[in-house]
Amino acid sequence: MDKNKFWFYKTMAEQVIQSLKRNNIDAIFCETSDEAKKRVLSMIPKGSTVGMAGSVTIRELGLLDELSRGDFKLYNQYLPNLSKEESAKIRKEGTLADFFLSGTNAVTLNGELVNISAMGSKIAGLTYAKKVIIVSGVNKIVKDVKEGIDRTRNIVAPMNAKRLDFNTPCKETGFCDYSRCRPPDYHRICNQLLVIEGERERERITVVLIGEELGF
């Protein structure tokens, strides 16, 4: 990454981290993906159960492979040849694991986390799991919740719809068409919206901000 861009992102990340901490959410900054991967793995004791949300960032960090090979009980909805029902069961069980890993669609300068989900398992894990570790590239930083929702609907959703082959207007055009995106004509990818403004229980959520552009 260009050194000036890195400086800009790191400066914003420092502000976000302080805001998250004021909201009772732990936060750390890692300069590289490799550093972040090692840091996340060090936070999960051997033998722990681990669930996860669907996340391109988790895959890009190599966490899925490391957890699959390691001494963990991983609730892996990406195993080959799973039926829709089996995948849904694994996702549900993962929300009750010792640790829940997730990316985030956006994180604001005020320390708010913005996420939209298609089926709700991600939101269930973020709000209810015992321990949550959120990994995020600095490209997810936005000014406020409004910008976070806009980013999610107009950047994250179209790319995820394409990746997952969802039947949505944004898969066709690359832009959110909120008024058209309704069943039975379309299979919505934006069904539940969660904004985490703060956390009651100290150390339940940890955000790992990474000085790279990762995920969608």
The domain segmentation of the chain, as residue ranges, is: 3-210
Answer CATH for 3-210 from 1.10.287.3510, 3.40.50.300, 3.40.50.10420, 3.40.50.1460? 3.40.50.10420
pLDDT tens digits, 162-188: 998 999 999 999 999 988 998 888 889
Closest residue by Cα to residue 104 from 128, 133, 134, 76: 134
Q: Which pTM was predicted? A: 0.94
Sheet holding 73-74, edge to edge: 26-30, 205-210, 131-137, 99-102, 49-52, 73-74
pLDDT tens digits, one per residue of 86-130: 999 999 999 999 999 999 999 999 999 999 999 899 999 999 999
Q: How far is the C-alpha of 16 from the C-alpha of 14, rounded, in Å?
A: 5
Residue 188 · residue 115 · CB < 8 Å: no
